[in-house]
Amino acid sequence: MTTVQEFDLELSFPEAQVVIHFDDSDYHASSTVQRVDFIAEYEAHYLFVEIKDPDIPGAENPAAFVTKLNSGKLVQSLAGKFRDTLFFRSAQGKNDRKVLYLVLLSMQNLDNALLLAKQDELRKAIPIRHADWADDCAASCIILNFEQWKRQFGEQSLRRISEGAA
């Protein structure tokens, strides 16, 4: 099982062949490529994972995050990270599997209707499909909150480190 940490969150990818901390500046040197946090490689697909955690204990300005979310700037940033990561991976020759894009948005007071609306905005901002493309650029694009992530991937797949063992 591969376990990774992003600030106060720990995520597990039990069946991944490898998980790359793609947002590691050592990996990209001085590149200005926007990038997702992690890429989990599976036999049949790549999982691009971006983590946003405005509920992190001691967050400096949660209101600024809400403003960014409501203004559409967060969605544009998420779309840019996906596109640049996809471009980078294609240039590496790692475009041989379908891509799933998952955003973990750990924000308890975010209602499901707004979460779905932002997911639709993200699909359009990327965009996932185009009439001139032979294939969609992603097989799926989903934004999940903390609890949805755990339901999708299992109770042990995600935990807040500051709250102790899962």
**pTM to 2 decimals?**
0.92
User: 141 forms bridges with which residues in the sheet?
Assistant: 101
62-111 pLDDT, tens digit each? 889 989 999 999 999 999 999 999 999 999 999 899 999 999 999 888 88
**Residue 166 pLDDT exceeds 50:** no
- Domains of the chain and CATH, by start: 2-163 (3.40.91)
CA–CA separation, 154 vs 166, rounded Å? 11
User: 9 forms bridges with which residues in the sheet?
Assistant: 6, 160
- How does 135-144 read in b/e, with b if 16+ C-beta sit within 10 Å? ebbbeebbbb
